């Protein structure tokens, strides 16, 4: 089955917007998560680390909460995420690193 034909059944866009923004739902669920995230040249663990890095650098803490949790589901350990965020703080700015670490702390606390 080609990447384009795969359907993971992702419904995050539908859950977020319902019928309010059908275009956003389509591109989130069918393109981003059913096509891009399912491409085989990078595994989901690596895609998660890349996404966490981009969201941290951009200061997008609202989306980072989901993606840090998703990274955990994709096999990234809590210690690896802590180290990645420490490293990112030097490249993306200390406030972004601190904010991301706070988000991660909340996720880890919820897991325990």
pTM to 2 decimal places: 0.86
Res. 8 pLDDT band, cuts 50 70 90? low
Instruction: Please provide residue 57's backbone torsions phi and psi, each rounded to the nearest 5 degrees.
Output: -60, -35
Looking at the 3D structure of the chain, how many domains does it have? 2
Does pLDDT of 3 surpass 60?
A: no
Tell me if residue 22 falls in helix, strand or coil: helix
Same domain, yes or no, for 63 and 110? Answer: yes
Q: Is residue 55 part of a domain?
A: yes
User: Do 27 and 64 lie in a common domain?
Assistant: no
How many residues are given for the chain?
Answer: 112
Q: Which helix (H) or strand (E) holds 112?
A: none
pLDDT confidence of residue 13: 85
pLDDT reported for residue 74? 97
User: What pLDDT digit, counting tens, does each position of 66-102 carry?
Assistant: 999 999 999 999 999 999 999 999 999 999 999 999 9
Please tell me whether residues 93 and 47 are part of one structural domain.
yes
pLDDT digits (tens, 9 = 90+) for 15-66: 888 889 899 999 989 999 999 999 999 999 999 999 999 999 999 999 999 9
1 pLDDT above the threshold of 70:
no
Confidence of residue 9 (pLDDT cuts 50, 70, 90): confident
Residue 2 region by backbone torsions, left for phi larger than 0, else alpha for psi between -120 and 50, else beta: beta
The domain of 96 spans 43-112
């Amino acid at each position: 089955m080609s990447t384009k034909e795969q359907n993971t059944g992702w419904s995050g866009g539908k859950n977020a917007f319902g019928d309010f923004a059908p275009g956003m739902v389509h591109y989130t669920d069918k393109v981003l998560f059913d096509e891009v995230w399912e491409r085989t040249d990078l595994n989901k663990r690596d895609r998660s680390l890349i996404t966490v890095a981009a969201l941290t650098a951009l200061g997008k803490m609202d989306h980072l909460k989901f993606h840090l949790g998703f990274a955990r589901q994709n096999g990234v350990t809590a210690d690896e995420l802590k180290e990645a965020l420490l490293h990112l703080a030097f490249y993306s700015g200390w406030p972004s690193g601190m904010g991301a670490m706070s988000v991660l702390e909340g996720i880890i606390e919820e897991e325990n």
